[in-house]
C-alpha cells in the first residue's frame, strides 16, 4: 500500500541550536561568518559574535534568524543602539517571522530566552504592536486561525509516537473529522476576507494553507488560484505554495516540481521522494520558492539523497 507522509510545515520552520542547514546566502564567506558568530554566541562571547554578524550582514541581510542572534549578542554587550537598530530593521522587513521565532514554545532556540528580559521584551512587544496597528492586523481573525491551526496540527504531531495500528486508525479518524470542520471554517473566512494573509494575521497566514493542503484534491484545485494570488501578493510564503503544487501534482499522478513530498512505499517507516520532474534542476526551482537544497531537506526524513543523472 502506497502511503504518503503528511508534511508538517510548522515542524520545519525553526532551526535547532545545533546549527543551521540552510542559509540566507550561498556565499561561503557569509556562511563561515554566521557559523563562527553563532559559536561565539554559544560561548557567551558577545563582542566577537556581534562583530562577525555585522560583517556577515554586509554580504546578505535576509536572515531573520541571524539578526535575532546578533540582537542577542548586542544586548549582552549592552550595545543599545545596535540591538535597537537590528530589531527595528527586521520587524519592518519581516515582523511575522520575528514573532514566529519568539513565540516558539519548543525552545529550539534557547539563545532567544534573552528576549524575555524586561527591557528587550518590552521594546520588542511595543514595536510589534506598532507595526500591527500600522498594517491593520486583525486580532480576532488571528485568534480564530490560531485555534484552527492548533486543531490541524496537534494530533498530526502525535502520530509518530503512536505504537499500535488501532490507535493510529482512531487518531486518523479524529484528524479527518477535524479537517472537515476546519475546511468549513476556512471557506467561510475566504468568503469574508479572501485569503487571510500576512498583512492581516501575520504568522497565522499559514493556517488556511495547512487546511487546504490537508483537504481533498477537489478543494485543493478549487482554491489553488486564491493561494497563488496570495503568494504573488506576498500574503503567503512561496515555500508553502510550492508544497501545495507538489501535493496536487502527486495526487493527479504527475511528477512533483519541488521535491517536497516523500512517500513510505512499503509502510515500514523508510521514506523516499515521490518522482520529481526534471530532477537535475530541482534545486534551482526550490531556490526560486525560498526552499533550501533538497539534499538538506532529505535529512529530515533520514533520506541520503544523491541525484544520479541518467545516461
Q: Are 288 and 261 in the same domain? A: yes
pLDDT, position 191: 97
Q: Which residues have a Cβ under 8 Å from the Cβ of 171 and sit 6 or more positions away?
A: 155, 158, 159, 162
Q: Are 94 and 152 in the same domain? A: no
pLDDT digit string (tens) for 96-129?
A: 889 888 887 677 888 999 998 889 999 999 999 9
Taking each continuous run of H as one helix and of E as one strand, the counts in the chain are 13, 3
At residue 267 the predicted structure's pLDDT band, cuts being 50, 70 and 90, is confident
Q: Are 23 and 94 in the same domain? A: yes
Structural domain range at position 95: 17-135
- For residue 247, tell me if it sits in a domain: no
Q: Are 263 and 228 in the same domain? A: no
pLDDT, position 311: 61
Count of domains forming the chain: 3
pLDDT, position 159: 86
Contact 23, 64 (CB under 8 A): no
- For residue 227, tell me if it sits in a domain: yes
Q: Are 129 and 151 in the same domain? A: no
Q: What percent of the chain has pLDDT over 90?
A: 68
What is the 8-class DSSP label of residue 195? S
Return the minimum-mean-pLDDT range out of 4-13, 44-53, 185-194: 4-13
- For residue 4, tell me if it sits in a domain: no
pLDDT, position 62: 82
Dist. CA 225–CA 298, nearest whole Å: 29
Nearest residue to 9 via CA among 211, 254, 160, 248: 211
- Is a pLDDT exceeding 80 seen at residue 261? yes
Domain boundary pick from 118, 135, 152: 135
Q: Please state the φ and ψ torsions of residue 297, each to the nearest 5 degrees.
A: -60, -40
Dist. CA 60–CA 54, nearest whole Å: 10
pLDDT, position 77: 96
Dist. CA 152–CA 8, nearest whole Å: 10
Residue with cell 526534471: 278
- For residue 220, tell me if it sits in a domain: yes
pLDDT digit string (tens) for 131-184?
A: 998 888 999 999 999 999 999 999 998 987 888 989 999 999 999 999 999 999
Domain boundary pick from 91, 107, 135: 135
Q: Are 29 and 81 in the same domain? A: yes
Q: What is the mean pLDDT of the chain?
A: 88
Q: Are 223 and 262 in the same domain? A: no
Q: Assign residue 23 the CATH number of its domain.
A: 1.25.40
At residue 1 the predicted structure's pLDDT band, cuts being 50, 70 and 90, is very low
Note the Cα 268 to chain centre separation in Å: 27
**Average pLDDT value for residue range 53-63:** 92
- For residue 244, tell me if it sits in a domain: no
Contact 240, 203 (CB under 8 A): no
Exposure pattern of 16-38 as b/e (b: 16+ CB <10 Å)? eeeebeebbbeeeebbebbebbb
- 272 three-state secondary structure: strand
pLDDT, position 15: 34
- For residue 246, tell me if it sits in a domain: no
Return the minimum-mean-pLDDT range out of 58-67, 271-280, 301-310: 301-310
Q: Are 120 and 31 in the same domain? A: yes
Residue with cell 473566512: 189
Q: Are 82 and 93 in the same domain? A: yes
- For residue 10, tell me if it sits in a domain: no
- Is a pLDDT exceeding 70 seen at residue 13? no
- Burial of 203: CB neighbours in 10 Å, binned 0-12, 13-18, 19+: buried
**Average pLDDT value for residue range 59-88:** 94
Domain boundary pick from 236, 271, 298: 236
Q: What percent of the chain has pLDDT over 70?
A: 91
Amino acid at each position: 500500500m502506497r502511503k504518503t507522509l503528511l508534511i508538517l510545515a510548522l515542524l520545519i520552520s525553526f532551526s535547532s541550536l545545533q546549527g543551521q542547514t540552510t542559509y540566507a546566502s550561498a556565499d561561503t564567506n557569509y556562511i563561515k561568518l554566521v557559523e563562527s558568530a553563532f559559536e561565539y554566541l554559544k560561548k557567551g562571547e558577545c563582542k566577537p559574535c556581534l562583530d562577525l554578524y555585522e560583517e556577515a550582514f554586509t554580504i546578505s541581510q535576509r536572515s531573520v534568524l541571524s539578526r535575532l542572534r546578533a540582537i542577542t549578542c548586542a544586548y549582552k554587550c549592552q550595545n543599545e543602539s545596535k540591538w535597537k537598530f537590528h530589531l527595528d530593521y527586521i520587524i519592518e522587513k519581516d515582523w511575522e517571522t520575528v514573532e514566529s521565532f519568539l513565540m516558539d514554545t519548543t525552545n529550539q532556540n534557547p539563545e532567544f530566552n534573552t528576549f524575555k528580559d524586561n527591557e528587550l521584551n518590552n521594546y520588542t512587544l511595543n514595536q510589534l504592536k506598532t507595526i500591527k496597528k500600522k498594517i491593520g492586523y486583525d486580532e480576532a481573525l488571528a485568534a480564530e486561525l490560531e485555534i484552527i491551526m492548533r486543531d490541524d496540527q496537534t494530533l498530526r504531531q502525535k502520530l509518530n509516537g503512536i505504537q499500535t495500528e488501532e490507535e493510529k486508525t482512531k487518531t486518523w479518524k479524529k484528524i479527518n473529522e477535524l479537517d472537515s470542520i476546519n475546511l468549513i471554517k476556512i471557506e467561510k473566512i475566504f468568503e469574508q476576507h479572501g485569503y487571510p494573509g500576512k498583512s492581516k494575521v501575520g504568522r497565522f497566514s499559514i493556517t488556511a494553507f495547512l487546511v487546504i493542503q490537508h483537504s481533498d484534491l477537489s478543494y485543493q484545485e478549487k482554491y489553488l488560484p486564491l493561494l497563488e494570488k496570495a503568494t504573488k501578493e506576498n500574503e503567503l510564503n512561496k515555500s508553502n505554495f510550492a508544497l501545495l503544487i507538489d501535493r496536487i501534482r502527486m495526487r493527479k499522478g504527475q511528477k512533483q516540481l519541488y521535491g517536497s513530498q516523500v512517500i513510505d512505499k512499503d509502510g515500514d517507516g523508510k521514506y523516499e521522494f515521490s518522482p520529481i520532474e526534471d530532477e537535475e534542476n530541482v534545486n534551482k526551482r526550490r531556490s526560486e520558492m525560498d526552499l533550501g537544497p533538497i539534499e538538506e531537506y532529505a535529512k529530515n526524513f533520514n533520506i541520503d539523497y544523491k541525484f544520479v543523472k541518467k545516461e
